Amino acid sequence: MTSVQIVPPNKLVYGMQMPVAAQSRAFAAPWEADAGVAEILRIAQACDRSGFFYLAVSDHVCVTREAAAAMSTVWYDNIATLGFLAAATRNVRLLSYVFVVPYRHPLMTAKAFMTLDALSGGRVILGAGAGHLRGEFETLGIDFDKRGRLLDEAIDAVVKAFLDEYPEHDGATWKFRDRGLKPRPVQQPRPPIWIGGSTPGALRRAARRGDGWLPQGVPEMGMEKAIAFIREERERSRGGEPIELGMNSPWLYVGTPTFDLGASSFSGSPEAIAAELRQRKNLGISHLGVRFRSRSCDELIEQIERFGTEVGPLLQ
């Protein structure tokens, strides 16, 4: 499998997880609880005109009552939401961050993302992950303890379907041949697959099977060691093919805030914020997930636009 690269060489691009569409209490702002389609549309279009590289949507089918105390139950459907964003935007890429691939037959995953790629004019990135909520797996009848093996096989099968109208796969869980899939993706040779996760297994999977990496928080070994781990494994397994590495920013506020930003936040002038973020580029990061503190949808859109106009050009 040859790696697919979409980030321009020597660039640091930036994208954002779609607010409102996922409302874990760990990251959702209070104003999002009363927000809906109108706010999603405004935010997506602000990112599109402000030069954001991607908009991302998460994936949960159902949340157990116990987990909902921290996670909430607000998790918009991944494919439906990305399809809505595709119709509402023109340039920003559409990323699943991340799609829990073991929940579906790989041909279902391939068909969904191929169709989305065709409808969006070639803007899809399949962010693939193993999932983490045991109760969700149990409800869907999927063996939680086999999720890593299912993900590995499914990625291989999806790649085959992206590349060939009649893919052939003979794996431990899924077998198919002489089954055609259209519409074909616009991106050639295929849409990119970025692997999510920060465990050693996820890092190894990204190195062996991914075109890129999407961290789920900072790995226990630290970001610098994680990047070195991926590159070493990439050299062993893929001959050092390029891989597009990601990282998340602190919570940002462009300018001087008049409220407490909370922990893990950084504010200041566009020049100060750009200097802070460029340090990630020096680690070998090519795509950056940015996030903003805000007290309203209007304030978030103002931050998105200021970042795109004043910070983005200083990142290179």
pLDDT at 11 exceeding the cut of 80: yes
- Each residue of 245-298: pLDDT tens digit? 999 999 999 999 999 999 999 999 999 999 999 999 999 999 999 999 999 999
Mean pLDDT of 197-207: 97
pLDDT at 1 exceeding the cut of 80: no
Q: Residue 12's closest CA among 275, 303, 305, 291?
A: 275
- Each residue of 53-77: pLDDT tens digit? 999 999 999 999 999 999 999 999 9
- Each residue of 182-193: pLDDT tens digit? 999 999 999 999
Angle between helices 37-49 and 297-306 (to 10 degrees): 10
Asked, as a colleague might, if the bond just before 106 is cis with ω within 30 of 0, I would say no
Task: Report the Cα 225 to chain-centroid distance in Å.
Answer: 21
pTM of the entire predicted model: 0.97
Q: What are phi and psi of 304, to 5 degrees?
A: -60, -45
Distances (CA, A) of 147 to 25, 85, 255, 288: 26, 29, 43, 27
Q: Residue 133's closest CA among 211, 176, 73, 210?
A: 73
Per DSSP bridges, beta strands 175-176 and 169-170 are: antiparallel
- Each residue of 146-190: pLDDT tens digit? 999 999 999 999 999 999 999 999 999 999 999 999 999 999 999
What residue ranges do the domains of the chain occupy? 13-314
- Domain 13-314: give its CATH code: 3.20.20.30
Percent of the chain residues topping a pLDDT of 70: 100
